[in-house]
Structure 1
Amino acid sequence: MKLIADNTCQEKSLNKGKPPINVTSEIGRLRTVMLKRPGKEVENLVPEYLHRLLFDDIPYLPIIQKEHDFFAETLRSRGIEVLYLEQLFVEALTSEEIKIQFIDEMLRECHAHVNGASIVLKEYLLSFSTEQMVDKIMSGVLKKEIDSEKKTHLYEFMDDHYPFYLDPMPNLYFTRDPAASIGNGLTINKMREPARQRESLFMEYIIKYHPRFAGKDVPVWLDRDYPFSIEGGDELVLSKEVIAIGVSERTSAKAIEKLALNLFKKQASFKKVMAVEIPKCRAFMHLDTVFTMVDYDKFTIHPEILGPQGNLNIYILEKGVDEGTPKISFRTDLQEALKEVLGLDDIILIPCGGGDEIAASREQWNDGSNTLAIAPGVVVTYDRNYISNELLRKNGIEVLEIPSSELSRGRGGPRCMSMPIFREDI
């Protein structure tokens, strides 16, 4: 597990003396962010199982790592502290007891007991150093790695031809989805697809056991045991009072309502949750693949999410008279709804691909609307989306482009690849 910089995440944080998490907007100056550098898990993708692992193609590891390192260095060059999920997690396994507890929980979630492999796998994983073990769990465990003499049951010898005991986790470099910072806390998410459900377990252990977060009373607004799915790509913090959440292929209305009620009860600053229904298809996987905030009054948008009359189904949830029931109102005009909840006289929606039928579809597929704002009016984007990038610049946005020939194969952009931990308030 080789990282570009030493990020031992103790008291050398840029935010020393402040709460470990603070995200009250999408555009406040970014101070600390969590990434995951693509690793061997990407090389364990094979054509037969791409669909199972939620990929459309196989990235070339040396180049995807080079592109990801460029992304990380772009952030560091702007004074942003870059943490790595894999390193934070290694540092969170502070005792043998915690390490064993994690392995047991991970194997249980993998259903490894079904084919009788859990005992052998546990022994195998514990044979590694902590760092090697984490890398092995993330990259996947092949059946051929286990010595045949340790297979004691007939069904272990006659098992199907699927090559893995533990699936690789190639989606891990999209750190936005398993957990999402909101205010001074976070959601640790129940993810919809089986291929990704283990991912949020890493963040749960980091919050519980890493010295940077443990004992700091970090609130968890919704945990991964809640039975209905929600993913961080659908969670956008528009201001210290307003959150937008996509009702999408991956995020359920029930999870949104539960999160809203928890926030209204426990975090006084949040007044409104704007639930935005988007088409439930892979191309529009999360709200942030079709809509992101880039400045105080400017947003990217993919025009194809709008209905024939330019409308959307938008539900505004507010605190109700009964603590267990929100007040809900309905809107259809996104622009007007944003002006209302943010108290703005006007806003600008910047269309992906300039709204051109072909360019918009092509660039949205390569995450032209998925921008990472690192300060008001400053965003990181993929270089391949040149029409969208030029339009952002014409609207006064500073655009920092990163190479993306391999990163984009995972169907996620700069926002997808980053989990803000700390932003300055605006």
Structure 2
Amino acid sequence: MAIHVTSEIGPLKQVLLHRPGRELEHLIPDTLERLLFDDIPYLAAAQREHDVFARTLTDNGVEVLYLEDLMAGTLQNDPSLKPAFIRDFIREAGAVALNYQEELFQLLMDIQDEKELVLRTMAGVNLSELRRPTKSTLSEMVRREDRFVLEPIPNLYFTRDPFATIGRGVSLNRMYSATRRRETIYGRYILTYHPDYAQKVPLYYQPSFPFSIEGGDILNLNAQTLAIGISQRTTPEAIELLASNLFRSEGCAVNTILALDIPSMRAYMHLDTVFTQVDNDKFTIHPGILQTLRIYQLSRDGSGGVRTVERTKPLDTVLAELLELERVTLIHCGGQDRIAAEREQWNDGSNTLCIAPGKVVVYDRNNITNRILEDHGVTVLEIPSSELSRGRGGPRCMSMPLMREG
């Protein structure tokens, strides 16, 4: 069994991370908005914080795999994939990269060590690194030599988004922003060619599909039920398409999807920035979404299609019904203090990674929400977050579970 994830809370056994690398040092003020950052993290401190995150997981029995190692292993296992991988990467990098595609291709092909190659694609390439003896074109004469012709991918340490594990399969996503679309290439090559995953993992969604969907919006409530956010980055059309594929896929147990319509704004970019599960019957939630939240339920219609109805009951009631529980507790991020709720939601107070029922990894900076979780009987494992939080993502965003116990 290559992948098995049927809940948000089953004991976590194996997880995919990416340790932040030089791509963060290639952020500059002029590119922050385009590359989806609000500030520039200090790399050395971000790596130290991420190492604490990884060590917290391993200390609690979780096997940590790294995206860069799996991708390097894929290329090592089959060296013939290298030119195709590089061509795909350049093709997805945009018009400027295509303008220099032969020079980029040669530069990357000359890198012999597979992991070094993978890290280089993540970090980016600027014009001065290309082998061009003279400035012979208008663009070369006008553009500065430190301009990136292959832009960095600084969002990679949020491994949750490019693909989402659902049961024994994967939704390989179409990313909302063009700057993140290269991230799915690593997942596609790993899932298609790595010996641990090849021919073992059904794909329920593909980056070639026209509608955007990201992993931060997909929550496994149980083997039969998903919650998916209609958000800034996931469209209702994508949810309908994923639902249709899941419902028609032989061996897939999912028969119900709750589509939660949250405000389309950067602060709430994904469902898991405002709503995560922390125990069998407990969820964290940002109270700011409750007044406007609309809930839709998608299910099989009996003839191979998808039936959709709007649920008008409160969220906790709908969750209790679907999870067959007497009641569900919604734990408010920041408690009853609106200012604390807004501040701690911005710093991912609601973005918890549950590693076992009632046991979560959280950012230490969200002290009010963390104490409220403890008051509700939840074990809280705090990790430092001064630099990691600058990317606007928390422990759940930074992790892609590959194996959970049932």
What TM-score comes out, normalization by structure 1 length? 0.92
CA distances 1:197-244 after superposition (whole Å, capped 9, x unpaired)? 11011100000111111132x111111111100000000000111100
The answer for the alignment partner of 2:153 in structure 1 is: 169
The answer for the alignment partner of 1:269 in structure 2 is: 253
Matched, 1:285 2:285: no
Match of 2:78 among 95, 102, 107: 95
> For the residues of structure 2 that align with 1:61 and 1:399, how far apart are their CA atoms?
26
CA distances 1:242-281 after superposition (whole Å, capped 9, x unpaired)? 1000000000001101111111111442121000000000
Matches for 1:357-368 after TM superposition, within 5 Å: 357-368=338-349
> For the residues of structure 2 that align with 1:113 and 1:142, how far apart are their CA atoms?
11
> For the residues of structure 2 that align with 1:231 and 1:22, how far apart are their CA atoms?
19
Shift of 1:106: 0.9
The answer for the alignment partner of 2:55 in structure 1 is: 73
> For the residues of structure 1 that align with 2:217 and 2:56, how far apart are their CA atoms?
25
Matched to 1:262, the amino acid is N
The answer for the alignment partner of 1:197 in structure 2 is: 181
Unaligned runs of 5+ in 1: 1-18
Q: Give the 3-state SS of the residue equivalent to 2:374 in structure 1.
A: helix
**Kindly, what percent of the aligned residue pairs are identical?**
51
Contact 2:299 2:307 in 1 (8 A): yes
CA distances 1:400-426 after superposition (whole Å, capped 9, x unpaired)? 00000101010000000000000000x
Shift of 1:296: 0.5
Q: 1:98 to 1:363 in 2, by over 3 A?
A: same
The answer for the alignment partner of 1:59 in structure 2 is: 41
> For the residues of structure 1 that align with 2:346 and 2:145, how far apart are their CA atoms?
33
Shift of 1:140: 0.7
Matched, 1:245 2:228: yes
Shift of 1:289: 0.2
Q: Give the 3-state SS of the residue equivalent to 1:149 in structure 2.
A: coil
Q: Give the 3-state SS of the residue equivalent to 2:298 in structure 1.
A: strand
> For the residues of structure 1 that align with 2:209 and 2:313, how far apart are their CA atoms?
29
> For the residues of structure 1 that align with 2:144 and 2:242, how far apart are their CA atoms?
41
Matched to 1:149, the amino acid is P
> For the residues of structure 2 that align with 1:65 and 1:231, how far apart are their CA atoms?
24
Matches for 1:224-263 after TM superposition, within 5 Å: 224-263=207-246
Matched to 1:234, the amino acid is D
Shift of 1:192: 0.5
Shift of 1:317: 0.4
Contact 1:75 1:82 in 2 (8 A): yes
The answer for the alignment partner of 2:139 in structure 1 is: 155
Matches for 1:260-339 after TM superposition, within 5 Å: 260-266=243-249, 267-307=251-291, 312-339=293-320
CA distances 1:350-404 after superposition (whole Å, capped 9, x unpaired)? 0001131111111111000000000000000000000000000000000000000
The answer for the alignment partner of 2:19 in structure 1 is: 37
Q: 1:331 to 1:151 in 2, by over 3 A?
A: farther
Shift of 1:327: 4.0
> For the residues of structure 1 that align with 2:313 and 2:270, how far apart are their CA atoms?
19
CA distances 1:150-183 after superposition (whole Å, capped 9, x unpaired)? 7654433334777100110010000000001000
The answer for the alignment partner of 2:170 in structure 1 is: 186
Contact 1:112 1:118 in 2 (8 A): no
Q: Which shows bigger deviation, 151-160 or 411-420?
A: 151-160
Contact 1:242 1:272 in 2 (8 A): yes
Q: Give the 3-state SS of the residue equivalent to 1:38 in structure 2.
A: coil
Q: Give the 3-state SS of the residue equivalent to 1:346 in structure 2.
A: coil
The answer for the alignment partner of 2:30 in structure 1 is: 48
Shift of 1:332: 4.9
Match of 1:107 among 48, 73, 90: 90
Matched, 1:119 2:102: yes
> For the residues of structure 1 that align with 2:312 and 2:127, how far apart are their CA atoms?
53
Shift of 1:331: 2.8
Match of 1:212 among 186, 196, 210: 196
Shift of 1:95: 3.0
Q: Give the 3-state SS of the residue equivalent to 2:222 in structure 1.
A: coil
Q: Give the 3-state SS of the residue equivalent to 2:402 in structure 1.
A: strand
Q: Give the 3-state SS of the residue equivalent to 2:133 in structure 1.
A: helix
Q: CA RMSD in A?
A: 1.5
> For the residues of structure 2 that align with 1:161 and 1:140, how far apart are their CA atoms?
14
Contact 1:116 1:156 in 2 (8 A): no
Q: 1:220 to 1:247 in 2, by over 3 A?
A: same
Shift of 1:117: 0.4
Q: Give the 3-state SS of the residue equivalent to 2:306 in structure 1.
A: coil
Contact 2:103 2:131 in 1 (8 A): no
Q: Give the 3-state SS of the residue equivalent to 1:392 in structure 2.
A: helix
Matched to 1:396, the amino acid is G
Shift of 1:43: 0.4
Matches for 1:383-422 after TM superposition, within 5 Å: 383-422=364-403
> For the residues of structure 2 that align with 1:202 and 1:37, how far apart are their CA atoms?
15
> For the residues of structure 1 that align with 2:71 and 2:273, how far apart are their CA atoms?
27
Match of 2:363 among 367, 378, 382: 382
Contact 2:299 2:306 in 1 (8 A): no
Contact 2:126 2:146 in 1 (8 A): no
Contact 1:241 1:270 in 2 (8 A): yes
Q: Give the 3-state SS of the residue equivalent to 1:148 in structure 2.
A: coil
